[in-house]
A = this chain, B = another copy of it.
Amino acid sequence: MNQHRLEEGLALLKENRIRLTPQRLAILEYLANTDSHPTEDEIYKSLSNKFPNITNATIYNNLKCLKKNGIINELKYGEDASRFEWVTEPHYHVVCKSCGRMRDFNYPELKEVEAYVEKLSGFQINHHLFEVHGICSVCKQSQK
């Protein structure tokens, strides 16, 4: 139970006068306590027990809200649906192209490339993304 994280998130919401509904809290708790980079649908399925009437729209609205308030990141870089993660220190992702699962990895931040590209292209750069694609050991196993 990542209580510390959760409380930081709750504080951020309070600061920005975002109301705390039971559904929103449940989504926050779910995201604070996982490193699985869930999709909206995974969150939806997981909360359906506790909130039988919850809808995808509510989950989406909340994810958008949490993202806007700097609590979570949306990862659109994978294959189909967006995945979401708690905001932490900068890091990169390994993605399994078979099952879509993601895992974090750390590597010296490639900030120098941002500067290089900014000069080169005239773009105003504020972000970069490094992603490594392959097949995870589970999927590799089951392919045999």
Contact = CB atoms under 8 A, between A and B. Distances in A.
Interface of A: 76-77, 79, 94, 96-97, 103, 105, 107, 110, 113-114, 116-118, 120-137, 140
B135 A123 contact: yes
B123 A96 contact: yes
A6 to B, nearest CB: 27
Q: How many copies does the complex hold?
A: 2
B123 A94 contact: yes
B94 A121 contact: yes
B136 A114 contact: no
Nearest to A117: B132
A125 B71 CA distance: 30
A49 to B, nearest CB: 32
A137 B123 contact: yes
A24 B79 CA distance: 26
**Which 8 pairs from chain A and chain B are nearest by CB?**
A125-B134, A123-B134, A127-B133, A129-B131, A122-B137, A77-B77, A128-B132, A117-B132
Nearest to A96: B123
Contacts of A116: 107
Contacts of A134: 118, 123-127
Contacts of A113: 107, 130, 132
Contacts of A105: 117, 120-121
B132 A131 contact: no
